[in-house]
Structure 1
Amino acid sequence: MKPVWLLAARGAAAVVFGVLTLLWPQLTVLALAWVFGAYTLVDGAMLIATAWRHPQERRPAAACAAAGALGVVAGLVTALWPGLTALALVVMAGAWAIVTGCLELWAATRMRHELRHAWWWRASAVVSVVAGVLLWLRPEAGAVAIALVLGVYALITGGLWLAAAWRPGHWCVGELQHAHGLDFVALRAQGPVLGVTTFGRDAPYTRLAVSTPDPEADAAWLQQTTAQNSRNKLSR
């Protein structure tokens, strides 16, 4: 599954969960546990898939995998626990939101140069931690109050993930930090690309990759302009 579809799927799952918890009439603790369990299972699977797609980033990938595994476990426990009480659900949901939020915040911060949606990821992680804290502040809350906190949290995070997945014109623009320096890319999903390797210590980027309709003509123009600038410097 492509990264953009992982983002979209995770966002859509969160929005569906949020709508169900907020609009379900006469929601009971047991019904909320089933819906919450199904959502955390799906969300955990998406996090594990995200970790699998970035094996080169070992520690952030391990954090994603741990958060995903926690989501799967939380989903199974809450969905299969017979006679689950509101207090147990609050404790379980709060712990899941806080721990996964902290793990995702750390992973997103470590991968901020590799992922163009790192800012959105960090924002959703902060919302997750806040939701967990709110749940723990009122452990005696009933099913309706729990559903309100979880529903609002899911709608906000789902909107953030869908916004991260949306790419106007299928453009990918940003910087990529690596061992040899910093690259700048401005690429369409499809089409020809002009790649430029820069030289000199004062150059802000090591390489440039830009989508252009005619890369050969643009490359010739760049070579001509560079040669002209070099001659002008020598003549001074």
Structure 2
Amino acid sequence: MSSVQAPQAPGGHGSLAPGAELLHSLARNWWLEVLRGVAAIIFGVLAFAWPGITLLTLVLFYGAFALIDGVLAIVAAIKGGNPMPRWWLALVGVAGIVAGLLTFVWPGITAFVLLIFIAVWAIILGAMEIYGAFKLRKEIEGEWLLVLNGIISVLFGLALLWRPGVGALAVVWIIGFYAVVLGIIYVMFGLKLRKHQPDAGTVAHAA
């Protein structure tokens, strides 16, 4: 298994540079990205396969997915040492949890309002993933996956804000397609991170 050759931070104490520290922590928990991807794919397939699903039901399921994804993102942010390099991932998690909880605790909420929540969540998700890719660009070749994911998420959110009143069937297909693409990219990125797990020697040197 290849090890990450991390640049040293100024000061000469063997500590990792911010980008390398971020890569190390994400790589240790690569399976969380895969799990996020699997959850998204399951949701997307459900949207396509459930005959006659209503928009409100789909959006409630999406709220559940956002909640699960938010929890996993926060776990990935705080697991494995100093969480500061992964604050953007924690923000993604908080946004997902808030969006998910609002879909269940707001009495009488409409599908239209839920779509707005989803759109805002997707834009925050996309922006933070693009930021994360920027931080990782010198450490891993697969950062383009995060950029692609971020761009797709931002465009998805903007599309919902631009035409929130589009037909229910069209929204179902758009959300389902987005979830499947999001999930596939998450899985690919997780497997890419797996190849960058630090070996014992690298971790000891970083310490």
Identity of aligned residues (%): 34
Instruction: Note the residue ranges of structure 1 that are not aligned, 5 or more in a row.
Output: 174-186, 196-236
- Structural RMSD (CA): 2.8
1:147 aligns with 2:182: no
Q: CA deviation at 1:103?
A: 1.6
* Residue identity matched to 1:89: L
Cα deviation, 1:184-207, whole Å, max 9, x if unaligned, reads xxx8x89xx8x9xxxxxxxxxxxx
Q: Specify the SS of the correspondent of 1:166.
A: helix
Equivalent runs, 1:74-223 vs 2, <5 Å: 74-114=99-139, 117-166=142-191, 171-172=195-196
Name the structure with the higher helix share. 2
The answer for the alignment partner of 1:34 in structure 2 is: 60
* C-alpha spacing 1:171/1:108, structure 2 compared with 1 (3 Å): closer
Q: Say if 2:99 and 2:117, in contact at 8 Å, map to a contact too.
A: yes
Structure 2 distance, partners of 1:81, 1:24, is 25
In structure 1, the residue corresponding to 2:108 is in which secondary structure?
A: coil
2:81 counterpart of 1:51: no
Secondary structure of the structure 1 residue equivalent to 2:137 = coil
Work out the CA distance in 2 between the residues paired with 1:7 and 1:126.
18
Q: CA deviation at 1:56?
A: 4.3
Q: Quote the residue 1:13 is aligned against.
A: 39
The Cα of 1:17 is off from its aligned counterpart by 0.9
Q: With structure 1 as the length reference, what TM-score do the two structures score? A: 0.65
CA positional deviation for 1:141: 2.1
Which structure has the bigger radius of gyration?
1
What letter corresponds to residue 79 of structure 1 in structure 2? Answer: F
Q: Equivalents in 1 of 2:29, 2:144: separation in Å? A: 15
Unaligned runs of 5+ in 2: 1-25, 203-207
User: Are the aligned partners of 1:86 and 1:142 in contact in 2 as well (CA < 8 Å)?
Assistant: no
Could you give the per-residue CA deviations for residues 93-112 of structure 1, whole angstroms, max 9, x where no partner exists? 11111122112211221133
Q: CA deviation at 1:70?
A: 0.7
Q: Which amino acid aligns with 1:46?
A: L
Aligned residues: 176
TM-score (norm 2): 0.73
Shift, 1:129, TM fit: 0.5
Aligned equivalents of 1:57 and 1:115: distance in 2? 19
Whether contact under 8 Å (1:27, 1:143) holds in the other structure is no
Q: Deviations over 1:135-158 (max 9, x none)?
A: 112111243222212111111111
Moved over 3 A (4+): 53-57, 113-117, 170-173
Comparing both structures, which one devotes a greater share of its residues to strand? Answer: 1
